[in-house]
Amino acid sequence: MTKHRIFPFMIAFLTVVFLQAQVLERGNFLVGSTVGFSAADSKISRTLNGVDQDESGPSSLQLGISPNVGYFLTDAFVLGIGLDYTFSRLSEPNEDRTDDSDFLFGPFMRYYFPLENNMAFFVEADFGFGNSSDDLIVGGGQQKLNTNIFAIGAGPGFTIYSDNAIGIEALFKYNFARSEFTTDIDQVTTETITKTGQFDIALGIQFYFGGIQKVDTELTEEGLFGL
């Protein structure tokens, strides 16, 4: 490779590295959201008149949206706060139905492993605390329940970001949630604890800003990747 070809190649490579350092460097902010679908299996433990009962719960499909804001405490490491709203509808074979609306709030952590060409792998973990509102139709009668929820999730992801500091990402995550509520029907009190494990696949967009300067793509012969 001749010198006049090596020089532009080196400039392009160093510019990509510089861009990654800007996007993922300490002091920057991360703002965005993910939207995802999930499939879940559940196990239910009931205490009825002092007798413990275990049974399989229903399977479900869910739709969720999760906005977040984070801060780079160090290069490639983000600590932030996120919201998680999930709506699901369960239909049983006996025509009983449950509409469930969950709202969680809590911290998240993310660490990036940058690659070339404006790409990076990352690992994310989050914690959520909140409540759920359920409308139940059981035997033709309707009930409304309020449930306390604790959730924790973790998993890997992949992002591609442009020289405008906009990232498009995919996240594959395992979530575990524990919820608890009590019902009193015909003077029979039932305490229900639900433990749910589910895998989520979500797509999202993130904006990286704060201390970021747009890279001058005219330094290269062909420019850098941009969305």
* Interatomic CA distance for residues 1 and 210, integer angstroms: 39
Render pLDDT for 152-176 as a digit per residue (tens, 0 to 9).
999 999 999 887 889 999 999 998 9
What phi and psi values does residue 130 have, to the nearest 5 degrees?
A: 175, -155
Structure tokens at 36: 């995802």
The CATH class for the domain spanning 3-212 reads: mainly beta
Per-residue DSSP letter, 203: E
Residue pair 89/97 in contact (Cβ under 8 Å)? The answer is yes
> Percentages helix, strand, coil for the chain, rounded to the nearest 5?
10, 70, 20
Contacts of 104 (CB under 8 A, 6+ apart): 83, 84, 85, 86, 128, 129, 130, 149, 151
Q: How confident is the model over 44-61, as pLDDT tens digits? A: 777 777 777 777 666 677
What is the residue extent of each domain of the chain?
Answer: 3-212
Question: Mean pLDDT: which of 31-35, 84-88, 129-133, 144-148 is highest?
Answer: 31-35
CA separation for the pair 175, 155 (Å, rounded) = 9
Instruction: Please state whether beta strands 119-138 and 77-91 pair in parallel, antiparallel, or not at all (unpaired).
Output: unpaired
Query: Which secondary structure element, helix H or strand E, spans residue 107, and what is its range?
Result: strand 97-114
